[in-house]
Amino acid sequence: KRVFREQALTHIRLLRHIVDELEKMPSHILPEEHFLEHLKERFGEQEAWSQLETAINWGRYAELFSYQEERGIFRLEEAEAAVAS
């Protein structure tokens, strides 16, 4: 997972963007809409959801952030923030 995490942060812009945005927030929490609106502008609604779902799955696997599906909330945990930096 460590190698995947490093490669994901280096090569997948959306994952890097999500982590960067979460790091900027004092609470390390952001709603999915924060990322979804930007994706919709570029790709349309269906493709935006598809890309965000892929990023969520990969980001969770790499332990970059957690995602509460029922609330649509991304959260960067302190341990994850230290690893991502």
Here the tokens at position 57 are 């799955």
Please write the tens of the pLDDT for every residue from 10-51.
Answer: 999 999 999 999 999 999 999 999 999 999 999 999 999 999
Residue with tokens 């991304």: 74
- The stretch 40-65 carries a mean pLDDT of 96
Whether the pLDDT of residue 78 is over 90: the answer is no
Residue with tokens 């890309």: 51
Is the pLDDT higher at 77 or at 81?
77
Helical ranges in the chain per DSSP H:
2-11, 13-24, 32-43, 45-61, 78-84
Q: What is the pLDDT of residue 41?
A: 95
CA quadruple 54, 40, 42, 25: dihedral positive or negative? Answer: negative
- Cα gap 43→78, rounded to integer Å: 32
